[in-house]
Amino acid sequence: MDITTYKYALQVSQQYELTKTRSHNPLRINFRCPICGDSKVNMYETRGWFYEYKGELRYGCFNCNKNYPFPFYLKLRHPEIYRHYILEKNGDRYKKKEPTVEADTSNIGKKSLTSIIDDSTINKYCVRLDRLPEGHPALLYMQNRLIPEERMCLFWFTMKWRELANAVKPNTCSNNDPEPRIVIPIFDEKGNIASMQGRALRSTEKLRYMTVKSSEDANKVYGLERINPNETVFYLEGPIDSVFIDNALAIVGGTMSLEEAPHKKTRVWVLDNEPRSKDTCARMLKLIEAGERIVIWDKCKWQKKDVNDMILKEGATKEEINQYLRDNIVKGLRAKIRFNEWKKVIL
Ligand SMILES: [Zn+2]
């Protein structure tokens, strides 16, 4: 863990109640959880932690079960401090780089700056689902899809989708009439919102999913801010499916070339379970031929095409699906044999 993170963790935790640093190396700081307020009954309960896990600092609470990488937590709870933290961290990073590399990174920095959607924009038009009152239709909609409670904070609700879309990218919608949507922000690695997807809540909407990017090169990979790149990273077809899977990403708003997709060494592709879809089968074959690792659904007991439907309509559990994915990663010849058994179309 770097010294900047260490410093900020100590500083921030001092603002909390009953804070105790249990250990410095590895760093373990314990406090009364500021998100859930910890126990209502016992004033001395302290179940919130900053703790090191595989060299990274994380926040976690044993009461509300919220768990985030430290930078993401900071961004959520202390946006002002977070800004200083990022500046300081980047300062450290740039100093260490070779001059030639420095020129490159500064360029990337500038590029992404132009494509970041200001936090105040989303706050102006949307409410986060975990902050909505029980029984709100948007919350009910996601609860009916069995989205895990601890993942509700990843989704927002707006009544003014068109206004929001136009604020992010002018002329996206032809008018500003009210339109309710679930808003799924797509963050970059630093936790800045780079683009967003809106899922329609009315069946009359022409486009069920709409993705708005503030610029052409805005990040299109959902989940980057939360994953551990050193462990197996699963790429799913949709953000909602991805929240059921440990360490998962999703590509939104169209296709992406293999060169562009992050985490080449640890990534595994999980396409929909559609053995009768020519398009899905062709994409899978392409991945196999490129030497990529993929999951094939040939040995599973579920028939539905995506993770959410397997859970909703076939009673699969999140744990069962995660286990299946881990046990069925294949590549090369083995992938080809299983793929040929599974597909039901002629390519
Ligand atoms: Zn808590």
For residue 188, name the pLDDT band (cuts at 50, 70, 90): confident
Output phi, psi for 56, to 5 deg.
-115, 145
pLDDT at 27 over 50: yes
Q: Collapsing DSSP states into helix, strand and coil, what is residue 321? A: helix
Residue 78 alpha carbon to ligand 1 centre in Å: 16
pLDDT at 84 over 90: no
Please tell me the pTM assigned to this model.
0.67
Residue 15 alpha carbon to ligand 1 centre in Å: 15
Q: What is the pLDDT of residues 97-111, one digit of tens each?
A: 333 333 333 333 333
Q: Collapsing DSSP states into helix, strand and coil, what is residue 182? A: strand
**Domains, the chain, ranges and CATH?**
3-83 (3.90.580), 119-219 (3.90.980.10), 233-342 (3.40.1360)
Ion ligand 1: residues, CB within 5 A, are 33, 35-36, 61, 63-64
Tell me how far CA of residue 101 lies from CA of 107, 108, 115, 118, in angstroms.
10, 11, 22, 28
Q: Which residues contact 119 (CB under 8 A, 6 or more apart)?
A: 79, 192, 193
For residue 336, name the pLDDT band (cuts at 50, 70, 90): very high
Residue 131 alpha carbon to ligand 1 centre in Å: 15
Work out the average pLDDT over 303-307. 96
Q: What is the pLDDT of residues 257-282, one digit of tens each?
A: 898 899 999 999 999 999 999 999 99
Return the pLDDT at 1: 82
Residue 39 alpha carbon to ligand 1 centre in Å: 9
Q: What CA–CA distance (Å, rounded) separates 156 from 198? A: 9
